[in-house]
A and B are shown apart, each in its own frame.
Chain A
Amino acid sequence: MCGCGGSRSEEAVHAGGRTFSHWAGDPEGEEMRYAETGFNIEIDLSRGSIERVETDPRLTPLHLGGQGTAGKILWDRVPPEVDPFSPDNLLIFSTGILHGTPVPGANRTAVDTFSPQTNLYSHSLFGGFFGPELKHAGYDKIVIRGKAPDLVYVWIHNDKVEIRDATHLRGKGALETGALIKEELKESEVQVAAIGLAGENRVYMATIEHANSSASRGVGVIMGDKRLKAIAVRGTKDINIAHPAELFAKCSRQYRDIYDNPNCGDYLAHEDDEEWHVNNFAWGNARDRVKGYWTEEREKKWTEISNSVRKRWTGCYNCPKDCHQAISYPGRHTYFQKCYSKLTYAMAAYKELDFNYDILGLTQEYGLDGFSTPQVLAFAIELYEAGILTDQDMPGFPSDSGERFFWLVEKIARREGIGDTLANGVYAAARQIGKGAEAFDHNTMKKFEQVPLKLGTINYPYFLMYATGEKMNITQIEGSYPQIAIADKEERAAFVARWEAAPERFKKWYMEWEPRTHPSVEASVNIVDWNETMHYIDDAIGTCAFLSSFRGQFGGQPPYHIFNLPGFISDAVGIDLDEDELWRIARRNRNLIRAINVRRGLRRSDEAPPADHWKKREPEMETKLLDTYYEFKGWTNDGIPTKETLDDLDLGYVADDLVRRGILAESPDASPIAATTAAVQG
Chain B
Amino acid sequence: MTADVTEAAVKNVIKEIKIDVDKCIGCRACEMACSAFHARPRFSSTNPARSRIRVVVDELNDEYVPVRATEYAKAECSGRHVYTINEKEYSECSFCGASCPSREYFREPDSGLPLKCDMCEEDPTLEEPWCVQVCRCDALTYVEREDDRPAEEEEKLGELELGLDSLVDRYGIQKLAETVARMSSKG
Contacts and interface: CB of A to CB of B under 8 A. Distances in A.
B136 A241 contact: no
Contact of B136 (A102, A256, A314): A256
A406 to B, nearest CB: 22
A274 B109 CA distance: 47
A84 B59 CA distance: 34
Contact of A241 (B29, B44, B59, B103): B44
A315 to B, nearest CB: 4
Contacts of A258: 136
Interface in A244-281: 244-245, 247-248, 252, 255-256, 258-259
A334 B59 contact: yes
Interface stretch (B10-18, B34-42, B146-154): B34-42
Interface stretch (B45-53, B72-80, B163-171, B179-187): B45-53
Contact of B47 (A236, A316, A326): A236
19 contacts: A212-B59, A236-B49, A238-B45, A241-B44, A241-B45, A244-B43, A245-B42, A248-B36, A248-B43, A252-B133, A255-B29, A255-B133, A258-B136, A312-B62, A315-B26, A320-B29, A326-B62, A334-B61, A336-B59
B5 interface: no
Contacts of B28: 129, 317-318
Interface string A86-122: 0000000000000011101000000000000000000
A313 interface: yes
A236 B109 contact: yes
A637 interface: no
B46 A239 contact: yes
A236 B25 CA distance: 22
Interface in A290-342: 311-320, 322, 326, 328, 333-334, 336
Contacts of A334: 59-62
A288 B44 CA distance: 55
A244 B36 contact: yes
Which 8 A-B residue pairs are closest in the complex by CB-CB distance? Answer: A236-B49, A236-B109, A259-B136, A244-B43, A238-B45, A315-B27, A315-B25, A320-B136
A336 B59 CA distance: 9
Contacts of B136: 255-256, 258-259, 320
Contacts of A320: 25, 27, 29, 134, 136-137
Contacts of A312: 22, 25, 62, 64
A211 B103 CA distance: 21
A518 interface: no
A175 B60 contact: yes
Contacts of B119: none
Nearest to B21: A312
Nearest to A312: B62
Contact of A239 (B41, B45, B61): B45
B138 to A, nearest CB: 10
Contacts of B60: 175-176, 179, 333-334
Contacts, number: 112
B141 to A, nearest CB: 15
A466 to B, nearest CB: 34
Given A189-B104, A326-B59, A313 B25 contact: yes
A237 B25 contact: no
Contacts of A179: 60
A232 to B, nearest CB: 14
Interface of B: 22, 25-29, 32-33, 36, 39, 41-50, 56, 58-62, 64, 103-104, 109, 133-134, 136-137
B103 A188 contact: yes
Given A188-B103, A318-B29, A320-B137, A175 B59 contact: yes
A538 to B, nearest CB: 18
Given A188-B103, A236-B49, A334-B60, A317 B109 contact: no
Nearest to B130: A252
A277 B133 CA distance: 36
B113 to A, nearest CB: 14
A312 B25 CA distance: 8
A169 to B, nearest CB: 16
Interface of A: 100-102, 104, 129, 136, 175-176, 179, 187-189, 211-212, 235-241, 244-245, 247-248, 252, 255-256, 258-259, 311-320, 322, 326, 328, 333-334, 336
B98 to A, nearest CB: 16
B154 to A, nearest CB: 31
Contact of B46 (A212, A238, A256, A311): A238
B61 to A, nearest CB: 8
Nearest to B33: A102
Contacts of B49: 136, 235-237
B24 to A, nearest CB: 8
A320 B135 CA distance: 7
A136 B50 CA distance: 11
B121 to A, nearest CB: 18
Nearest to B30: A318
A316 B28 CA distance: 8
A214 to B, nearest CB: 14
A327 to B, nearest CB: 10
A383 to B, nearest CB: 37
Of residues A236, A239, A316, which shows the largest number of chain B Cβ atoms within 10 Å of its Cβ?
A: A236
A258 B27 CA distance: 14
A189 B104 CA distance: 9
Given A188-B103, A239-B46, 18 more contacts: A136-B47, A238-B46, A238-B47, A239-B45, A241-B43, A245-B42, A247-B43, A248-B36, A255-B136, A259-B137, A312-B25, A313-B25, A314-B26, A315-B26, A320-B134, A320-B137, A328-B62, A336-B59
Contact of B62 (A175, A248, A311): A311
Nearest to B54: A189
Contacts of B103: 188
A195 to B, nearest CB: 17
A239 B47 contact: yes
Contacts of B32: 102, 317-318
A45 B120 CA distance: 46
B46 A322 contact: no
Contacts of A104: 29
Nearest to A242: B44
A75 to B, nearest CB: 31
Contacts of B45: 238-241, 244
Contacts of B22: 312
Contacts of B61: 334
Contacts of A245: 42-43
B143 to A, nearest CB: 20
B109 A237 contact: yes
Nearest to B135: A320
Contacts of A236: 47, 49-50, 104, 109
A393 B15 CA distance: 69
Nearest to A100: B46
Nearest to B110: A236
A188 B136 CA distance: 25
Contacts of A212: 59
